Amino acid sequence: MTQFAQMGTELENTENGTMRCHVCGADMTKLHTNIPFKVSQATIVIVKDLPVIQCDGCGAYLLEDRVMEEVEDIFERVDATAELEVLKYAA
């Protein structure tokens, strides 16, 4: 079973194996998207082409553990003096 970075959240699986959103109950879909992260008071990092599991209804998203670990590695390499960095996710 896949683990997710969303802490304290249990995902509900439907009969056909799809996941249900913990916020609104709609189906969730695996896709790639661009996500902004505020990594410090002055720095925002946009990670492009990030694999997420996103709700078809409300847009809430989850990251798998391995993806979140890689994103955290990206944050460690960010220029601390930059206000905005745009980086492409590469697994």
Query: Mind listing the pLDDT tens digit for each residue in 42-90?
Result: 999 999 999 999 999 999 999 999 999 999 999 999 998 999 999 999 8
Statement: residue 13 has pLDDT above 60? no
The reported pLDDT for the residue numbered 80 is 85
Q: What is the CATH number of the domain that holds 51?
A: 3.10.20
Residue 16: per-residue pLDDT: 57
Across 4-8, average pLDDT: 40
Cα 71 to Cα 54: distance, rounded to the nearest angstrom: 17
Flag whether 43 is in a domain. yes
Instruction: Compute CA 28 distance to the chain's CA centroid, rounded to the nearest angstrom.
Output: 13
Q: State the pLDDT at residue 90.
A: 86
Q: Give a yes or no: residue 33 inside a domain.
A: yes
Q: What's the CA gap between 72 and 13, in Å, rounded? A: 28
- Residue 49 counted as domain residue: yes
Please give the tally of structural domains in the chain.
1
* Range of the structural domain that residue 33 is part of: 28-88
pTM for the predicted model, two decimal places: 0.74
